[in-house]
A and B are shown apart, each in its own frame.
Chain A
Amino acid sequence: MEPILLRLAPVVLGILCAFPPVRAASLNFPVEYYKLPNGLRVTLSEDHTTPVVTVAVYYKIGFRVEPKDKTGFAHLFEHMMFQGSKNLGKMEFIRLVQSNGGILNGSTRFDFTNYFETLPSNKLETALWAEADRMRGLDINQDNLKNQQGVVGNEVKVNVLNQPYGGFPWLDVPQVANSNYYNAHNFYGDLKDIEAATLTDVQDFFKTYYAPNNASLVVVGDFTPSDAKSWVEKYFSNVPAHDQPPAADLTEPPQQKEKRVVHQDKLAQRPALAFAYHMPDKGTPEYYAMGLLDQLLLQGDDSLLRQELVKKRALTGSVSGGINLLGDMFNYNGPMLWTGFLFHDSNTTGDAIMQAVDTVINSVRENGVAEDQLGRARVKLRSGFLDTVSTGFGRADLLSAFALFDDRPQKINELDQKFADITPELMKKTAIEYLKPSNRTVLEIEPAAPAAQKGMN
């Protein structure tokens, strides 16, 4: 299949019309990649569909490796990145982007913290200047910190502490499925740890991890490469690099037997259940096979777990989940879980649910994957990928992950082939090796809301 370049819009349409139903040609995104002398990875990917541009700065530090006695710190720090730098006071970064017609946000994940904005393309230089300003150094005070401690405390309350199933499954499951502290601690943070953070902690964290040689800058959208490169040079090249600490040991010891854990939830009225298997190492053929197994088993109404648990056995109304609940299968860099979860009624037992799950998974382990099933899995994966890359941010996210973790953003154009190489035999082998009970954790949530609680009547 010839790749079709995105610039040739009218030609693309013509080609799609000319052929009767055939497999669509692979997309090929323009990707230019280089590094500044200070180590900053720079990726540029043009797209002139709409007059907007997305700037994404990813730092290779997430909550996995945050300081051990300071749970939730990496996330609190992320908030502080918006609180002031040398030439921008508190909230001024946000004001700058929004008053220039942009949207922005930041987030903290397992292995990176990202800061991104999408703005009208005529404001690219403004955004690059601002990101460089805060990469160069923060300018914050105790009041800012106290304020954001209040904000983050409320974030934990609104998303977890005051919600039924608040941390379920995304925060709860890694803590029970993993044993290495880096992978198994409360990364949203205990409120007391969030409260105890100091300004010195913030400055130290910045000094250690927020360096250009520990970062990736991606620009996607409507821009001229020569302009972008000269602004990147002008604003980022004088940010000094600093040596990174040695990489932490994230190894998860192989799990020897199934874990079953029950948590009580005082705010829930119905039980819930999650099952999670440890993923194969990233980048291996088995890892790509898991991407297709995920589609086959868990994604879409036709997925095998949904058909069995929802339609055939009526155990639940839906089964959800996937690889990396805080992102996707591409934007992490350490031990990971494939998780499925559902909500059910009290007269359904966890055993009955797991028996149904076993029926489905064992049929794959014993009989493998049929051609038509594999075909559907491939199409679903491709369709999901297209949805991801249809936004500037989605494309920037993939490019950032590949630049930061693999030193190769061009991987975005190689994924099709990686998945095309997966055979039914490899999928069966992967299921046998990884989707076995001894490799999984089952977490059950028992509703413990007081019987008297009526919610609202």
Chain B
Amino acid sequence: MRRSFIVFSLAIVSSSAMRLVAQQREQPPEGAPPKPFHSPARTTFTAGSGLPVTLAQFGLIPKVTIELVVRGGEITEPKGKDGLGTLMGELMKEGTSSLTAEQIAQKAALLGGSLSVDTDSDEIIVRGDALSESAARMIELLADLALHPKFPESELQRLKKDQLRNIAIAKTQPKVIAAQAFRKVVYGDNGYGRVIPDEAALGSITLDEIKAYYARHFIPSNAHLYVTGLFSPDLRSAIETAFSGWPKGDNPPVPEIKAQTKHTLELVDRPGAPQSTLAIGTPVVGPESGDYIPLEVTNSLLGGSFMSRITSNIREQKGYTYSPRSALETNAENAVWVEHADVTTKFTGESLKEIFGEMNGLRREGPPQKELKGIQNGISGVFILRNSSRQGIINILKMIDLHHLPPDYIDSYLPKMFAVTPSQVQAISEKYLDPAKMTVVVVGDKAQVESQIAPYKPGTN
């Protein structure tokens, strides 16, 4: 896959804030009233011995995206076996009972697409992308990979070496260093609490452990197949056929790890760094909660959009940073609100001051209605665009299923989002976003930064 090195002006995109008083200026034309948004229609059924399937026709570009999402992921990796999911995924691509790795790659290419296996905190995703005319054959290929992996031992050492190299490289990236330190505090020593695997743990993984992990998780009732794009209704029977031989089993248990609220300030030394990389955050509630949509709106207003309080302040007023952004980072069990920013080293203390200042501002007083409406319009725009691509649609469907959200989630989202009021934003900020409870990580030049951040050490304020 080709990496993108294009750097954009704004780094982040979302919604808007106060309208300033116009002075003898031409006003922009209002435009026409909005057209309605409709989410694509979905078909759901169960294939074979219990595999849930969701199909969504979308768009006019003759391609399909297919994801087999298996519940598992890093959170289910046994203790001391970090990276088991990723290693298993890589080894799956090394052949099936009837195809070599090269044949798999060539077949996928000929279908106009690619095949990948990715592991995240809660899921293992076998993903295929293909031309519409080849959708049925991609279903077959994907099912072959998922159901009949060969797991050739001969490739294991090479794959481990590749993962260890990736780990060594990741450990030198300030954002990874910050995220790792942050997650460790909030989640502790488990799959949610690490950004990258421990090298010794990954090195210790055996072929038997990989096979056992696979057998435990790759069970039809423990998975869900999604297809979006343009495809013939015949695809349903191709799916039924491809997955019919998948033996049933019991879903494996999944640990329930809850995030911890801990008020800490940690400085990770990065001598000579021209910037400090900040991660500031705290556990909040997840998508199942009635507070979540108000939280999303609050997040966007506080730091999640370009016109947000924090970004307007530390980027557009003060120039301390290029890419500040806050987000709600979720997994199956948790959501954590986190502000990320890389700030000029000599303004590290000032940046913390401004970030906490903006947070306290919202805790004291809700936003003006106009500012809030601008933010909400921005969220609406982004939401509609997210529902306008194959991958975007699959991502939302996956989220609905992972968090057991009601089936009308997509169609009811915008009205609920627009219903959030300024006083709710204030109430949410008071309830969830308290500087006195935040976990703070600063990756920066200790010699220059330590004294700047001293006032923010827990116990001093």
Contact = CB atoms under 8 A, between A and B. Distances in A.
A12 B105 contact: no
B99 to A, nearest CB: 12
A249 B171 CA distance: 43
Contacts of B106: 302, 376
Contacts of A103: 13-14, 381-382, 385
B196 to A, nearest CB: 9
A222 B32 CA distance: 13
A197 interface: no
A416 interface: no
B344 interface: yes
A302 B105 contact: yes
Contacts of A389: 61
Nearest to B136: A21
A154 B342 CA distance: 8
A421 to B, nearest CB: 20
B112 A16 contact: no
Contacts of B306: 94, 98
B2 A321 contact: yes
A355 interface: no
A93 to B, nearest CB: 10
A388 to B, nearest CB: 10
Interface in B429-453: none
A17 B33 CA distance: 37
A82 B9 contact: yes
Contacts of A269: 168-169, 171-172
Contacts of A161: 274-275
A95 interface: yes
A455 B112 contact: no
Given A155-B323, A159-B7, A449-B172, A95 B307 contact: yes
A269 B137 CA distance: 42
Contact of A51 (B5, B35, B131, B374): B35
A98 B378 contact: yes
Interface in A64-117: 78-79, 82, 86-92, 94-107, 109
A95 B274 contact: no
Interface string B342-377: 111000000000000000000000000000011101
A123 B16 CA distance: 15
A83 B352 CA distance: 25
Contacts of A123: 31
A396 B380 CA distance: 22
Interface stretch (A125-133, A203-211, A236-244, A406-414): A125-133
Interface stretch (A32-40, A144-152, A254-262): A144-152
A320 interface: yes
Interface stretch (B158-166, B219-227, B239-247, B328-336): B158-166
A299 B114 CA distance: 10
Contacts of B10: 82, 94, 104-106
A126 B62 CA distance: 32
B371 to A, nearest CB: 9
A301 B28 contact: no
A105 B174 contact: no
Contacts of A120: 34-35, 381, 384
B29 A126 contact: yes
Interface string B256-292: 0000000000001000011101000000000000000
Contact of B2 (A51, A149, A299): A299
B165 A109 contact: no
Given A383-B112, A390-B59, A129 B28 contact: yes
A149 B3 CA distance: 27
Interface string B159-185: 001110110110111100100110000
A229 interface: no
B322 A155 contact: yes
Which size class do B's interface residues fall under?
A: 35 or more
Contact of A158 (B101, B134, B168, B275): B275
B13 A122 contact: no
Given A151-B321, A302-B108, A327 B6 contact: yes
A359 interface: no
Interface in A366-414: 375-376, 379-380, 382-383, 386-387, 389-391
B31 A300 contact: no
Interface string A252-275: 000000000000000111100000
A322 interface: yes
A119 to B, nearest CB: 7
B35 A121 contact: yes
Nearest to B107: A302
Interface in B63-116: 63, 93, 101-102, 104-106, 108-115
A344 B166 CA distance: 10
Contact of A151 (B101, B102, B319, B388): B319
Contacts of B214: none
Nearest to B233: A17
**Best-surrounded residue of B60, B166, B373 (most CB of chain A within 10 A):** B60
A344 B161 CA distance: 10
B49 interface: no
B310 interface: no
B388 A456 contact: no
B234 interface: yes
B102 A163 contact: no
Interface in A298-320: 299-302, 307, 311, 314, 316-318, 320
Contacts of B389: 390-391
A387 B110 CA distance: 16
A270 B321 CA distance: 28
22 contacts: A9-B60, A16-B230, A21-B133, A94-B307, A98-B306, A99-B374, A100-B377, A101-B15, A101-B378, A101-B380, A120-B35, A122-B34, A146-B319, A153-B344, A154-B320, A155-B322, A164-B169, A270-B165, A270-B169, A300-B105, A317-B165, A326-B5
Interface of A: 6, 9, 12-13, 16-17, 21-24, 27, 47, 49-52, 78-79, 82, 86-92, 94-107, 109, 118-126, 129-130, 133, 146-155, 157-159, 161-164, 170-171, 222, 267-270, 299-302, 307, 311, 314, 316-318, 320-322, 325-327, 343-345, 375-376, 379-380, 382-383, 386-387, 389-391, 449, 453, 455-456
